[in-house]
Amino acid sequence: MIVQLFAGARELAGVASISLELPAGATVAELRQAILSLHPGLTPLLARSRIAVNQEFADDSAIVPEGAEVALIPPVSGGAAP
């Protein structure tokens, strides 16, 4: 499975995507742990980030289907320009 990284996650990991294997029936929480095992530098960001599975945000108990499109979406801050 390929996990696409965006914004700060991409910067911290130094890559645009992560390739990893999960067992059948793995949850989003297990996916988070697999990401951390490959890129421990994402620890401070991952807890605050959302995981999208097949273009929909998923909670940690959701099952990640085989072949799913997965994205790690860090929190975004911003505001109006002066």
Q: What is the extent of the structural domain holding 51?
A: 2-73
Q: What are the average pLDDT values for consecutive 10-residue runs of the chain, which has 82 residues?
A: 92 92 95 94 90 96 95 74 48
| 12 belongs to a structural domain | yes
pLDDT of amino acid 44? 87
| 80 belongs to a structural domain | no
pLDDT of amino acid 77? 58
CATH code for the domain of 41: 3.10.20.30
Backbone dihedral angles phi then psi of residue 70, each to the nearest 5 degrees: -125, 140
Q: How many domains does the structure of the chain reveal?
A: 1
Q: Give SS3 for 66.
A: coil
| 81 belongs to a structural domain | no
Query: Can you tell me the distance from the alpha carbon of 35 to that of 28, in angstroms, rounded to the nearest whole number?
Result: 10
Among the listed residues 10, 11, 1, 15, the one whose alpha carbon sits nearest the alpha carbon of residue 64: 1
In 1-82, alpha helices (H): 7-13, 28-38, 43-46
| 79 belongs to a structural domain | no
**Contact in structure between 39 and 2 (CB atoms under 8 Å):** no
| 48 belongs to a structural domain | yes
